[in-house]
Structure 1
Amino acid sequence: MIQTAFRTRLSSKTLLFFAFTLLLFSCKEQAQQTQQPPLVVDFIQLGATNAEVEKKYPGTIEGTVNVDIKAQVTGYLEQIYVKEGDYVKKGQPLFKIKGDVYNEQVNNSKALLEAALAAQATAKLEVEKLKPLVEGKVVSEMQLKTAQSNYEAAAAQVQQARAALGSSKINLDFSVLKAPVSGYIGRIPNRIGNLVMPNDATPLTTLSEINEVLVYFSLSEADYISFAKEGGFQKNANSVELIMADGSVYNHKGRLTVASGNIDKTTGSMSFKAIFPNPQKLLRSGGTARVILKKDFDGVLKVPMGSVKDIQDKFFVFTLGDSSKVSMKSFEVAGKVDGQYIVKSGLKAGEKIATNNIDMLNEGVVVKAVIK
């Protein structure tokens, strides 16, 4: 029994020793944690400056002239003189519709005109024959008046036949479709032998004149008011830039004009167009591009993008406060330029904001601040 009691006391002392050792190590770790040096963070002091901001708007490209080429008479397509993408000059033949029926209409109209001319000549001879007979009182004056009326009717028939001949010639001319303007040929959906008619929904092709091109784009009502108040339209009047579909900047600047003087009730935007020279024909009708408009800001604050936390579409920075503690502040963005946000509201000149280690910062954390 004495040995059992001794072993029990020994076990209790051993457990107490281990517990005390664990508590000692835990206190040391806590002391080490509380004694860690503060995080070193770089800060910059905000100051007012000037900035030029670029805003990009998606646009669609159109030629200065876009013409749908449609058949003006019904018939079978007999010839296609051009290929898709060809450049054609004004008056150049594009398509030929089988014109046999229109040739026959011209021949028929010529024959009718000749018959009308012959009838007119006969009526004139009748009038000339009756005049001396009336003077000699051989025939009555009523017969002369009847003959003169017949002559006038014959003359009217001649005019009618001439008009019919002119109309049939026009229809014959319409069987050959010519380019109304110079430009580039678009898609040609029809093939030789297809029946074409004036009321076809799809044109034979589209012709675009692209020595200059129009790029249509829209500004929101808020952007429109902002540009109008700050003179942005005058600044961009003759210096609009364009980003092409491949991401490169077009090497010619354009002129800015209003495409519509009203704000669209459905979209809440106003349409604009920029006119660009196109000497190398790089820009084609139907293409897309982005229009660059620039706006000046005077006396604004700029914040590096790397200093900003974006949380649910809201922007935050860490500012340095009293006792080297940081606090998180939200702000609104007016634009961005050269890797920096332009502050619209929420921050003031003179405030110091953290520029590194922002993912390790929290509200109220004490830091060792290094002012850059």
Structure 2
Amino acid sequence: MIRPSHALLLLVLAAATFSACDGGEEGPSLPPVAGKAPPEIPTPEAVDDAPASGPAKQAVATTGRFVGTVLPSESAELGPKMSGTLAFIAVDEGDVVKKGQLLFRVSPGTMKLQVDSAQAALEGALLARDEAARELERQKALAAKGTVSNVVVERAQANYDATNNAAQRAEVGVSMSKRALGDTTVSSPINGVVSRKLKNVGETVTMMPPTVVLVIQDQSALELRVRVPEAQLKTIRPGGQVVAHFTAIDVVRPATISRIMPTIDPVTRTIEIVGEVDNSDDLLRPGMYVEVEIGPEASGGAAAPAAGKEAAG
């Protein structure tokens, strides 16, 4: 038999247990995680897959500046016409020379003696020919009188022909020896300035392999060379105008496109254009750094039709 005190205790415990089960279904919560919250994953924005409009997508810059250089319009590397020793140099670096002006001379050696010898041989041949001519006339006169036979006249004629041929060969010999003597001197083939002097008096020079003694350059007009992207072919034309900026000396000058090279570099996809720059005031120098500005004037005043477009209508 259960005592009343024990029954009361059991009822109290049962009520407490039921109350705890009814209010704690979720159970105890976990403690918060220490540290920063994980980064949020960005949501990608929508991308417009519609293609760009034709003109905006295919637009290519047709103006800009490109780095180039300038070269002399004419340049000549001069060497001797015969091997020998330099006996005389008439100019130095920086000297202005005219076409036909004497520049240097190679020691003639025995060339002068050869000219004298050929001249003496010619004089002897001419005397022999004159003598043979007189003998031929005398024999012809005797044959006309019947004093000598025609055989004698024919012999005199053959002698004259031989001496005449010898005289002609002697004349050629004189011309050749004089030309050889003239080959000891070298003159300037162009108007220009001596840009380099590579040899001095007393040095040995050869014709083969050729020895360069002087370099002459015509710097009155310079040749502008610059490589531009192939897209520039849409606008540039021979005869068009570009602007050359010589930044080192703060000089700006117009240049005329003289020609466009026929090939494109397959590696850089660039093409070389050549222009002419006036240098009559002698401010510019070959090899100078230059920035070439290409604008609408490079087309030569006539707009080129777009390639691949059909005629309207």
Give the TM-score normalised by structure 2. Answer: 0.68
Across the aligned residues of Structure 1 and Structure 2, the Cα RMSD in angstroms comes to: 3.2
Deviation at 1:87, TM superposition (A): 1.2
| 1:258 and 1:271 in contact (8 A); partners too | no
Tell me the equivalent position of 2:261: 260
Deviation at 1:185, TM superposition (A): 0.6
Alignment of 1:228 with 2:233, yes or no, is: yes
Q: Structure 2: 5+ residue runs without aligned partners?
A: 1-31, 38-55, 298-313
| 1:59 and 1:215 in contact (8 A); partners too | yes
Tell me the equivalent position of 1:271: 272
Return the alpha-carbon distance in structure 1 between the equivalents of residues 154 and 247 of structure 2: 80
Return the alpha-carbon distance in structure 2 between the equivalents of residues 198 and 287 of structure 1: 33
Name the aligned partner's letter for residue 275 of structure 1: E
Give matches, 1:27-42, under 5 Å: none
Deviation at 1:176, TM superposition (A): 2.2
SS of alignment partner, residue 170 of structure 1: helix
Alignment of 1:120 with 2:129, yes or no, is: yes
Return the alpha-carbon distance in structure 2 between the equivalents of residues 134 and 107 of structure 1: 41
Alignment of 1:243 with 2:252, yes or no, is: no
Deviation at 1:267, TM superposition (A): 6.5
Name the aligned partner's letter for residue 286 of structure 2: S
Tell me the equivalent position of 1:184: 193
Q: Structure 1: 5+ residue runs without aligned partners?
A: 1-22, 31-47, 297-372
Tell me the equivalent position of 2:26: none
Tell me the equivalent position of 1:204: 213
Structure exhibiting the larger radius of gyration computed from Cα positions? 2
Deviation at 1:104, TM superposition (A): 1.2
Give the TM-score normalised by structure 1. Answer: 0.58
Percent identity of paired positions between Structure 1 and Structure 2:
24
Name the aligned partner's letter for residue 227 of structure 1: Q
| 2:102 and 2:185 in contact (8 A); partners too | yes
Cα distance change, pair 112–205 in 1 and its aligned pair in 2 (3 A): same
Deviation at 1:287, TM superposition (A): 4.2
Tell me the equivalent position of 1:323: none
Cα distance change, pair 77–259 in 1 and its aligned pair in 2 (3 A): farther
Deviation at 1:76, TM superposition (A): 1.0
Return the alpha-carbon distance in structure 2 between the equivalents of residues 178 and 287 of structure 1: 28
Deviations 1:25-51 (A, max 9, x none): x99xx9xxxxxxxxxxxxxxxxx9x99
The structure with the largest strand share of the pair is 1
Paired residues in the alignment total 246
Return the alpha-carbon distance in structure 2 between the equivalents of residues 91 and 243 of structure 1: 35
Cα distance change, pair 111–273 in 1 and its aligned pair in 2 (3 A): same
| 1:113 and 1:158 in contact (8 A); partners too | yes
Cα distance change, pair 251–269 in 1 and its aligned pair in 2 (3 A): closer
Deviation at 1:286, TM superposition (A): 4.2
Return the alpha-carbon distance in structure 2 between the equivalents of residues 184 and 245 of structure 1: 24
Name the aligned partner's letter for residue 129 of structure 2: Q
Tell me the equivalent position of 1:137: 146
